[in-house]
Every structure is written in C-alpha cells, then in structure tokens.
Amino acid sequence: MKFELSITIDRPPPDVFAFLRDKDQYPQMEGSPVLALDKTTPGPAGVGTRYREVVQMLPFYQGEILSEITHYQPYRVLEEDFQGAGMHGHLAYQFLPMGAGTNLIQRETIHYHGILSIFEPVIRVVLHHRLQERLKDIKTILESGYLVAD
C-alpha cells in the first residue's frame, strides 16, 4: 500500500525538518492515536537513530512500532523504516522551500502481515484519512508559533 501526500506549512524547511526529526520531543495533538513515542538511541538524531511508538490501532488494541532513520539530509530529506503491529514499511519526508514556507511531501509504503492483509482495502481508506489529518496537525502546531530547536 503506497501513499503520497503533501501540505504547505508557513515555516521554513529547517523548522519543519527539526520538528519531524525530533518527533519524540513534541506533544501529540488531542485525539492522536500515538500514546507513547520515545527515542531509544542516545545522542542527536541521524542515520541509525531508533524510536519506539505505542499506537492505538483499534478500540481495544495497542500496537508497538519500532522505527529507524535510514536517510538523513538536513532540511531536505528524512526517511525511516518501521516494523511492528502486524506491518512493516518505509516513510520518507521531503522538504521543499516554498517562499518563506515549506512544501512537505510525505511518501509512505506499508506492507501488512497475516490477517491484516485481508483488511487492506478498508485500512487504506482509514489510514489515508489519518495521514492527511496528521499532516494538518503538524501544520497547525508549527504555524501556531511552536518553537523548534535546531
């Protein structure tokens, strides 16, 4: 299953990049399915940095997702591979300057395992909506003046 989404954010690429690079340091929006997000490797983020997320997958099911940064080009590209909760995949962000802001492009590929693969058509619709909402949340947080450290 592949997704490509984009959103324009009224913040420069270094701010948007720092926010997504240091995703464990920023609050989740109310109603977010992400219940916990921790960086599990020491030091600054870069290739090899790992994260652990606990995500509310269904009303009574929480899943753990482990991810690792695989491509890191400051202010231009940030990519990670992830696995867990019956799936594995790849997430890639591209940061394109657009005036004083950033056109954030998200490309994501997800492969489901086992019984989840049967429900892929339904999951696709729900997940596409969630991914769009997440990009809108990132835009809202960054445009609200939330300070990011670089």
Predicted confidence (pLDDT) per residue in 51-84, tens digit: 999 988 767 778 899 999 999 999 999 999 999 9
Query: What's the confidence (pLDDT) of residue 72?
Result: 98
Low-confidence ranges of the chain (pLDDT < 50): none
- Determine the Cα–Cα distance for residues 119 and 116; give it in Å rounded to an integer: 5
Residue with structure tokens 């058509």?
121
Output the DSSP codes for 9-63: ESS-HHHHHHHHHTGGGSPPPTT-SEEEEEE-S-SS--TT-EEEEEEEEETTEEE
Distance from CA of residue 148 to its chain's centroid?
A: 16
Q: Say if CB 52 and CB 64 are below 8 A apart.
A: yes
- Determine the Cα–Cα distance for residues 131 and 104; give it in Å rounded to an integer: 13
Q: Say if CB 29 and CB 144 are below 8 A apart.
A: no
pTM across the whole model: 0.90
Q: Which residues pair with 121 in a beta bridge?
A: none
Strand, helix or coil for residue 83: strand
Strand, helix or coil for residue 95: strand
Query: What's the confidence (pLDDT) of residue 34?
Result: 81
Query: What's the confidence (pLDDT) of residue 150?
Result: 61
